[in-house]
Homo-oligomer: A and B are copies of this chain.
Amino acid sequence: VYAFSLQLTKLAKIIVNTNNFMKSDFSVRILGRSSAIPTQHSFPSSQFITHYNTGFLVDCGEACQIQIRRNGISMNHIRHIFISHLHGDHYFGLFGLLSSMNLLGRKRALHIYAHPKLEHILRFIFVQNGDGIKFPLIFHALSHENKQLILETKRLNVYAFPLRHRIPTCGFLFLEKPKMRNIRPDAIEKYELNHLEIRRAKMGKDLFRDGEKLAENVELCYPQEACFSYAYCSDTSYDSKTAEYVKNVDLMYHEATFAKDMLHKEEAKYHSTAGEAARVASEANAKNLIIGHFSTRYQSIQPLLDEARAIFPNTVAAQENFLYDVSTGLKME
Chain A interfacial positions (CB closer than 8 Å to B): 36-40, 43-44, 62-63, 65-66, 69-70, 86-89, 92-93, 95-96, 99-100, 103-104, 117, 120-121, 124-125, 128-130, 166-167
How many copies altogether?
Answer: 2
Determine the residue in chain B with the shortest Cβ distance to A166.
B130
Q: How far is the CB of A169 from chain B (nearest CB, A)?
A: 12
7 contacts between A and B (CB under 8 A): A36-B103, A37-B103, A39-B66, A62-B93, A87-B129, A88-B99, A88-B129
Contact of A62 among B40, B86, B95, B130 (CB under 8 A): B95
What B residues does A167 contact at CB under 8 A?
130
How many angstroms from the CA of A95 to the CA of B124 in the assembled complex? 14
The 5 closest A-B pairs by CB, nearest first: A63-B63, A40-B70, A62-B96, A40-B69, A88-B99
Determine the residue in chain B with the shortest Cβ distance to A96.
B62
How many angstroms from the CA of A53 to the CA of B101 in the assembled complex? 40
- Beyond A37-B103, A62-B95, A89-B96, 20 extra complex contacts between A and B, CB < 8 Å: A36-B99, A36-B103, A37-B100, A38-B66, A38-B69, A38-B96, A38-B100, A40-B66, A43-B66, A62-B62, A63-B63, A63-B66, A86-B128, A86-B129, A88-B95, A92-B95, A92-B96, A121-B128, A124-B124, A130-B167
